Amino acid sequence: MTAQTRTRAPATGGTVLDEFTERLFGHLPRADQRRWARVYLQGLLTTPGKKTVRRLAASVTTSPTASQSLQQFINASPWEWGPARAELLRWVEERHPVRAWTIGQVCFPKRGEHSVGVHRRFDPAAGRIVNCQLGFGLFLSLDGMSVPVDWRLVLPESWSVDPDLRRRARISADVAHQSPESLVLGLIDSTAARTSSARAPVVADLSRLGDAGALIGMLGRRGHDFLVSVPPALTVCAAGPSRAGEPVRPAVRATTAAELARRGNTSHPYAAPLTGPAVRPAARPQGLRIHSALVRVPGGDLAVPGAQQTYRLFGEGGPGAGARAGGAVWLTNMSRHRMDDLLRLVRQSGRATATLGVLADDFGLLDFEGRSFPGWHHHMTLMSAAYAYKGLPGCPPCGSAGTAGRARQTRLRRGFVGLRPTPRASNSPGYRREVPPGEADIAGPWLEVRDEGAGRPAPSDRTVRRG
């Protein structure tokens, strides 16, 4: 790496960015590594359009060898990303109370077969089989935004057992194939070990995981509060309500989560009429409600002392609910919380989904062109740091890269979990719209929470919108 690189001064916040870089990447043993971390961060913050290494280097420095040196830093330099992510977590926690730990899932479309972890899989968001990488991220959900602080990349078994693939992708010996459920649990365990604050509730979409029941049980045994979207076909058993001071009644006949959420087994004081401009008045189903039930998950808990074995399941139900088969079904061990508190956590899932779109548009989520396992993690770490620096209050902007990024949204609409198809006037195929910050996906285009008993909005009335 050249020792004579000159970087262009950022428009504003240069000293703050230097301090931020030193805090997160001060563990790097060499001064040139720390310098290139700063160059990469500044490039992510100021480069419009696609965030390739060549474009990042050209926007920050005039050195003709900067692109090669930056490529070396990201893809080949042996630096640990764990300490930087741990410091980023603490940096965010110092500046804002954390409301939830939210799990996001993202598919990275790829053209070739050489990027680490690339494989072919059916992507429900794209509606077809895609050649891709699959990753999971943990977001600290704050008031109004979600910040990614840790990532995992799915390594298919073929990549784990082939020594040539491992060597080419520089996969270390301690990295092995893990199921998506194990990767999600690893993200949560890692955050729990690093946090300096009280544990926040875990919010996750598990609806596309094959062994969601086992993951639910492990979260309970680790003592986490959680709210998760589960597969509609997940087998559950209704657990009847008990009187005060009595244990929960034994579970009864098994059914699916979707069926039990639709009809519920307890009276619930919240209604969810579909209204809003996205639904024609004549087409609006009448009498839709949020139905909830106390349930147990067979196989999820194995009678471990202290484990949470009874959960609250909720989703859309009532007349016309069958037309929305496939709507989100949520399950939580916070069964005594008010429904408006649970819906507030549901909205955190929507914010994390929206953050994925912002990361893709403005911070280069999909733009990493390297093929190595360390390179992928290096890029994701620096991208997360750039997003946190620019997004949190009190951190001055380092330039403007958002306008040009939003012009590229057509390129980003395939591959994201949470970027859902929605009709438009031209009925353009493949058009997808991200959920804006604060919106959620639970009951339809609009969800109004009302107090049925009083016949008017409850004092804690909440309205949740999905585009």
Bigger pLDDT: 441 vs 47:
47
Q: Is the dihedral of CA 132, 133, 136, 142 positive or negative?
A: negative
Express each pLDDT in 133-142 by its tens digit.
Answer: 999 999 999 9
How many CB atoms sit inside 10 A of residue 259's CB?
15
Alpha carbon of residue 35 to chain centroid: 30
Instruction: Tell me whether residue 422 is exposed, middle or buried, using C-beta atoms within 10 angstroms of its C-beta: 0 to 12, 13 to 18, 19 or more.
Output: middle
286-300, 396-410, 426-440, range with greatest mean pLDDT: 286-300
Q: Provide the 8-state DSSP code for 65.
A: T
Q: Does 355 score more than 70 pLDDT?
A: yes
Please name which of 409, 296, 398, 370 lies closest in space to residue 11, comparing C-alpha atoms.
398
**Which range is least confidently modeled, 86-95, 244-253, 427-436?**
427-436
- What is the pLDDT averaged over residues 280-295? 62
What is the distance between the alpha carbons of residues 366 and 361, in angstroms, rounded to a whole number? 9
What is the distance between the alpha carbons of residues 406 and 445, in angstroms, rounded to a whole number? 24
Angle, CA of 434, 402 and 423, to the nearest 5°: 25
pLDDT of res. 165? 95
pLDDT of res. 263? 73
Instruction: Tell me whether residue 421 is exposed, middle or buried, using C-beta atoms within 10 angstroms of its C-beta: 0 to 12, 13 to 18, 19 or more.
Output: middle
What is the distance between the alpha carbons of residues 349 and 36, in angstroms, rounded to a whole number? 34
- What is the pLDDT averaged over residues 23-40? 96
Confidence of residue 306 (pLDDT cuts 50, 70, 90): very low
| Sequence-separated (6 or more) residues with CB below 8 Å from residue 162 | none
Rounded to two decimals, the pTM is 0.78
Helices 82-95, 373-391: crossing angle, 10 deg rounding = 20
What is the distance between the alpha carbons of residues 399 and 390, in angstroms, rounded to a whole number? 9
Confidence of residue 13 (pLDDT cuts 50, 70, 90): low
116-125, 270-279, 418-427, 456-465, range with greatest mean pLDDT: 116-125
Contact between 50 and 82 under an 8 Å Cβ cutoff? The reply is no
Contact between 335 and 294 under an 8 Å Cβ cutoff? The reply is yes
- What is the pLDDT averaged over residues 369-392? 96
Q: Does 218 score more than 80 pLDDT?
A: yes
Bigger pLDDT: 325 vs 352:
352
